[in-house]
Structure 1
Amino acid sequence: MRYFEVPERQRGAAEAWLERGSGIPGSTPTPASAVVFVRDGEHGVETYLTYRPGNSPLGTVGFPGGPVEAHDDEPLDWAGPVPTEWARRLGMDGDVSRARRAVVAAARHAFEEAGVLLAGADPMSTVESAEGAEWMSSREALAVGDVSLAQVLGRRRLVLRTDLLRPLAHWVTSDFAHRRYDIHYFTAVVPDGQVPVPLQSKGVWGRWVEAAEVVSDPVGSRLGDLVGQEDTVGRTVGDLSSPGVQCVLESVAECSSAIAFLARKRAVVTRNPVLEVRDGRPVLRLDWS
């Protein structure tokens, strides 16, 4: 059993939910995907975090990601495990279309939010750089829904490299939240030559951080102060990120290298924190069994 603090931005909703009594069904969670990029740093494994204002189910600070969109169903050139295999890996046996959308959405958000393109001219190569005005224009068009990832890749005759992704975790936002995600986390390394860069119009902050350093400061504000935004300064990791992000950061911190993290065998188990009262305050309970 493990308990997480309810972020300050969600406490009003949590208290209102508890006042209405248990057993009330939550809103239907929106399918979503996120990508955890890892690399070897000077003092340990690093991961790329981004800042998002507002009240996202992904947290104020988290990994590049977001909701699945209808256009993630569009056909595109595909390399790597076939969708039926992805359905098995993600625990979606019998729902191949859903698994395919989750994979495409992960790649789309990685490119849109961080400028990392998991694609190449053929199944064995990757784009050497996704920087410059033309690439940024494509990312901006993706962000507002003017184009799909399939269109971006098709215009450049690129193949989506799904073999570069590894399934990592599956989390569902607690029932009390106004906005809920049913989110699949994937992990990958940034292809050689590419550099993560925040989206020009929306990206405020994105940075490689040492995972062990972040999780070693659970009650301090080191991460929030590093982000440096009005709604992050002075806040703890638990107040800035979702339970899913916190647990992923801990799993990254446990590994001796990026390769070890990518190679680790793991079952994708659905985690759905439950809201309850503990010591007079709302908390999220997670059953690890």
Structure 2
Amino acid sequence: MSNTTKRRFPLAAEQFGAAQSWLELGERSPRKPRLASSVSLLRDSPNGLETYLTYRSPSSPLGTIGFPGGSVEAGDDDGVGWLGPSPAKWAEVLGVSDPQLARRHVFAAIRETFEESGVLLAGPDMGTLVEAPQSASDDWMRDREAVAAQEQSFASIMKRRGLCLRTDLIKPLSHWLSPDFAHRRFDTYYFTAVVPVNQSTSVLRSKGVWGQWVPAAKVVAERETTALGDAVGEEATTSRTLSDLTVPATELILEKMAKARGCIAYLSHKRPIRLYQPELVERDGAMMLEVDMPTAAAAEGAPARER
């Protein structure tokens, strides 16, 4: 009996050209992926577990709509106060052999969350979180804009404010590699974190378009409709379904959230970190993305895949 099941997802319109060229020219070496991290923020609500989604762009390897996230950068090697699991422990959890590589992914996850949502997972010590940064205030927005424009490093801002990264506040979810045919490819670790009490979210003033807390169960229930895309209201989102707007990783994470009874239940679930990679397939004349997913029985206690 197989320990996996295949899930298929429609190909986004923006990927048709690259996919068709890949099929016509035959197999060749895929482009090297960029390292990336993405974080699904969580909060409890009367409508069930909610997560923060943002508009990215139709060409983003993380989807037109997705969680805060982006590329690992050179500055993610900068020295900064580090609280929580050590890079060596993170390497063990993520299933990589290089602690420095694990450190980059965790650093990038916290940096991108701050830049794209304003939520700052940092504090002066293990018992304290940064005091209620108002993400849209001029003071904090200037720092976010400076990080986004690479005018200041995230590490230098943390040092100036006397803060250390609270790496104990994020949990790993999964590891995804972009399809081989894609022109822009990411090697992405997905994490999750509960939004700290008294912190708020906002889009980046200079380039943010849309960001919203949404009930995961509602988004999944309406996946075959265009409700989410129409709510965003951009030309690239209207009249498009969830699968048209997100990458498989985001849709599958939303499915898991929709089944959770709250933040504590979702965070306490133990997940081995597996590597997933959508494969381009043709079914009934249509190009699709196919992902091997573990069955419920196989998902319990299986070892992570070494990278």
TM-score interval (norm. to shorter): over 0.9
1:57 aligns with 2:61: yes
Distance 1:53 1:274 in 2: 22
1:86 aligns with 2:90: yes
Give the fraction of aligned pairs with identical amino acids, expressed as a percent: 49
1:122 is aligned, of 121, 125, 138, to 125
Q: How does 1:33-112 map to 2 (within 5 A)?
A: 33-92=37-96, 94-112=97-115
Q: How does 1:93-242 map to 2 (within 5 A)?
A: 94-131=97-134, 132-242=137-247
Q: How does 1:231-270 map to 2 (within 5 A)?
A: 231-270=236-275
Partner of 2:31: 27
Partner of 2:280: 275
The aligned amino acid for 2:47 is: H
Distance 1:30 1:255 in 2: 31
1:124 shift after superposition? 1.2
Partner of 2:18: 13
Distance 1:221 1:27 in 2: 32
Partner of 2:301: none
Gaps of 5+ in 1: none
- Tell me the alpha carbon deviations over residues 136-193 of structure 1, each in whole angstroms, 9 at most, x when there is no partner: 0010010011122111100011111000010111111101110000000110011111
The aligned amino acid for 2:240 is: R
Partner of 1:287: 292
Gaps of 5+ in 2: 1-5, 295-307
1:130 shift after superposition? 2.0
Distance 1:76 1:70 in 2: 14
1:215 shift after superposition? 1.1
Residue 48 of structure 2 contacts residue 261 of structure 2 at CA under 8 Å; is this kept in 1? yes
The aligned amino acid for 1:30 is: R
Residue 18 of structure 1 contacts residue 276 of structure 1 at CA under 8 Å; is this kept in 2? no
Residue 5 of structure 1 contacts residue 239 of structure 1 at CA under 8 Å; is this kept in 2? yes
Distance 2:157 2:194 in 1: 21
SS in 2 for 1:288: strand
The aligned amino acid for 1:277 is: E
The aligned amino acid for 1:6 is: L
Distance 1:25 1:211 in 2: 37
Aligned residue pairs total: 287
1:123 shift after superposition? 1.8
TM-score by length of 2: 0.92
Residue 128 of structure 1 contacts residue 192 of structure 1 at CA under 8 Å; is this kept in 2? no
SS in 2 for 1:136: helix
Distance 2:165 2:76 in 1: 12
Distance 2:149 2:138 in 1: 17
CA RMSD in angstroms comes to 0.9
Residue 14 of structure 2 contacts residue 58 of structure 2 at CA under 8 Å; is this kept in 1? no
Distance 2:196 2:47 in 1: 21
SS in 2 for 1:287: strand
1:236 shift after superposition? 0.6
1:53 shift after superposition? 2.1
Partner of 2:297: none
Residue 32 of structure 1 contacts residue 182 of structure 1 at CA under 8 Å; is this kept in 2? yes
